[in-house]
Amino acid sequence: MEIKITRKLNPAAKPQDESKLGFGTIFTDHMFLMLWDKAQGWHDAEILPLGNLSIHPSSSVLHYGAEIFEGLKAYRRADGGIQLFRPWENFARFNRSARRMGLPEVDPEFCLEALKKLIALDADWVPHNPGTSLYIRPFMFGDDENLAVHGSGKARFIIILSPVGSYYPEGLAPVKIMIEDEDVRAVRGGTGEAKCGGNYGASVRAGNRAEERGFSQVLWLDGVEQKYIEEVGAMNIMFKINGRIVTPALNGSILPGITRKSILELLRSKGIEAEERRISVDELMEAARTGALEEAWGCGTAAVVSPVGVLAYQGEEYTIGGGKIGTVTQQLYNELTGIQWGELPDPFGWVCKLN
């Protein structure tokens, strides 16, 4: 499929102060868009100036939540070049999410080509400061213009780009996490393993409550017994307990993170086999009480690795590793970011160079 390109006539000024980029508030000049319907399949692919969308008020995304997304980054290397990290994984996961939500699948290779073209056009927007990157948000929504509930007969796929600041402007800072024992995020057989907007809609209330109590995020328990650890808001979770690295097994309700997968592969390459299994909140709290819980960290594209300094559950608070970042946490952060920004060799073939 041809991609029609319409350049913006008056490109916006790039942000001057890269220390103030924040997350997801500034967007580049262009976006990619293509349309789908049952009769034609994907069609009308184009790169055009970023702008508002026009949506019929009956569009299915507005009523029944037919929406999925991805999140990945483009990194500026020291030599000025730009690279992606495992984008193939993102588009493969996107198609799994699409299947779960009754949305059409995309051609991953075509989407990656479209993304490369889009980034090439907006290459000056990829920031240079250490820790900064260009956040990439591919998403799709059902766009049937009628109120009947059924699988999507019409959809739009869009990619937008946003230069983002360093997640840790003051260095890796441990966060306080609250284990949620009222709301649940997902259940097995539900949409927990799909990257869909609805999962986030359902998690907002608990997130707000945690924030009011001084915590930065919620750690979710399983949706059936509220007994087993699942994941953090937008991150998977890992622990070092008695010298062993453990993480909840992918059980159908946990989002299969690419950062999670990369860390497990990185550890395996060093001969360290992390345990992927069920971890009960009782086991975790017991380990926290006795000091067997040596480290805890969240992992996801935005933060890469986020050390957990405090865990709270049912009114009790436990400090992990003296509230400081642990050695494994720090090492994983250094190695992953080293590969992502091209400062370390990439023996795994994870990097996709654009130039």
Ligand X SMILES: *Cc1c(COP(=O)(O)O)cnc(C)c1O
Applying CB under 6 A, which residues contact ligand X?
A: 71, 195, 231, 234-236, 255, 257-260, 300-301
Q: Cβ 130 to ligand X, closest distance in Å?
A: 20
| Beta carbons within 8 Å of 335's beta carbon, 6+ residues apart | 266, 344
Q: Cβ 135 to ligand X, closest distance in Å?
A: 11
**Is residue 216 a contact partner of residue 350, using CB atoms and an 8 Å limit?**
no
Q: Cβ 165 to ligand X, closest distance in Å?
A: 17
Closer residue to ligand X in complex, CB, 257/309: 257
Closer residue to ligand X in complex, CB, 152/259: 259
Q: Cβ 277 to ligand X, closest distance in Å?
A: 18
Closer residue to ligand X in complex, CB, 82/264: 264
Between the alpha carbon of residue 267 and those of residues 177, 185, 250, 284, the distances in Å are: 25, 28, 17, 22
**Is residue 105 a contact partner of residue 95, using CB atoms and an 8 Å limit?**
yes
Segments of 143-281 assigned E as strands? 154-164, 175-179, 217-221, 229-232, 236-241, 244-248, 275-277
Closer residue to ligand X in complex, CB, 176/260: 260
What single letter denotes the amino acid at residue 291? G
Cα four-point dihedral sign 170, 28, 31, 84? negative
Closer residue to ligand X in complex, CB, 60/262: 262
DSSP H helix total and E strand total for the chain = 8, 18
Rounded CA Rg of the chain: 21
Closer residue to ligand X in complex, CB, 156/260: 260
